[in-house]
Amino acid sequence: MNQIPEIPENKSKRDFLQWVLAGGATAFLGAVLYPVFAYLIPPKQAEVEVSSVKAGKLSEMEKESGKIIKFGTKPVILIRTANDEVRAFSATCTHLDCTVQFRKDFGMIWCACHNGKYDLNGRNISGPPPRPLDEFRVVIQGDEILISKKT
């Protein structure tokens, strides 16, 4: 009684029902899992489109110094060189997305994670970085430094 008896003459009908049940169960799983997996995808946050940011005052920046500026959600490194040029590059290292820094002693942009080095034109010159840093446009209005995306 505890063993389900096999009844061969009913085989085709049973197969049909089982087939339908299996299909239904699959569809059901789909109906349940689709919303769950869709839910797991993080929704795109409306990113505020930043075309330019104020990066502070030129007079407050020493020669041969650099600082990290928030450009939307991404960091940008602003550098004032020894011969008084102001440049800006993406501060995200092209190697593994660490944030780079200005090293006065090297006179270079340096990434602490894997000793990657870039020159003051953003070119990768030493270490693992595979390509140069993206350059940003710098406009100086009076004393105000404005950084914008290069188009």
Partner 1 sequence: MKTHLQRIYSWIDERVELQGLVEYMGKKYVPVHRHSIWYYFGGVSLFLFIIQVVTGILLLLYYKSGEELAFESINFIMSKVQFGWLIRSIHSWTANLFIFSAMIHMFSVFFEKAYRKPREITWVTGMLMFFLALGFGFSGYLLPWNELAFFATKVGTDIAGVVPIIGKPLMIFLRSGEEVTGATLSRFFGFHVAVLPGLFTVFLSIHLLLVQRQGMSEPLHIGKESERKTMPFFPNFILRDITLWLLVLNLLAILAVFFPWELGKKAEAFASAPAGIKPEWYFLCLFQTLKYIPGKLWFLDGEILGVILFGIAGLLWTMVPFWDRKSSRGEQNRFVNYIGLFAVIYIIIFTIIGWLA
Partner 2 sequence: MKRRIFLFTATLIAVLASRESALANDTCFECHRNTEDKPSALFLHDIHHDKGITCAGCHGGNSKAEEMEQAMDKKAGFIGVPKGDDISKACAACHSSPEKMKSLGSSLPTNQWEFLQTSVHAKLSLNGKEHIAQCATCHNSHGIVSVKNPSSPVYPLNVIKTCTQCHANITLIKSYNPSLPVDQLEKYRTSVHGMRNAKGDPKTAECASCHGSHDIRSAKDVKSKVYASNLPGTCAACHSNAEYMKAYKIPTDQYEKYAKSVHGIALLQKHDAGAPACNSCHGNHGAAPPGVESVSKVCGTCHALNADLFSSSPHKKAFDQRQLPECETCHSNHDIIAATDKLLGVAPEAICSQCHNETQNVKGYQVAKKMRGLIDSLEAVEKRDQELVYEAEQKGMEISEAKFSLRDVRQARLQSRTAIHAFNEEKFAEVINNGLKTSASIAMESESAIHEYYFRRIGLAIATLIITLVALFLFLYVRRLEKKQTK
Binding site for partner 2 (CB under 8 A): 1, 4-5, 7, 14, 17-18, 20-21, 24-25, 27-28, 31, 35
Using the minimum distance from each CB to partner 2, give the nearer residue, 7 or 41: 7
User: Are the beta carbons of 79 and 86 closer than 8 angstroms?
Assistant: yes
- For the chain, how far is it from start to end, CA to CA, in angstroms? 79
Q: Which does 7 bind (CB under 5 to 8 A by kind): partner 2, partner 1, none?
A: partner 2
> Phi, psi at residue 3, to the nearest 5°?
-95, 125
From partner 2, partner 1, none, which one binds at residue 39 (CB under 5 to 8 Å depending on kind)?
partner 1
CA 129/CA 127 separation, integer angstroms: 6
Q: Which residues bind partner 1 (CB under 8 A)?
A: 2, 4, 28, 35-36, 38-43
Structure tokens, 32: 């349940």
* Both tokens assigned to 95: 């190697």
Give the one entry of partner 1, partner 2, none that residue 36 binds, where binding means its C-beta sits below a cut-off of 5 to 8 angstroms depending on kind.
Answer: partner 1
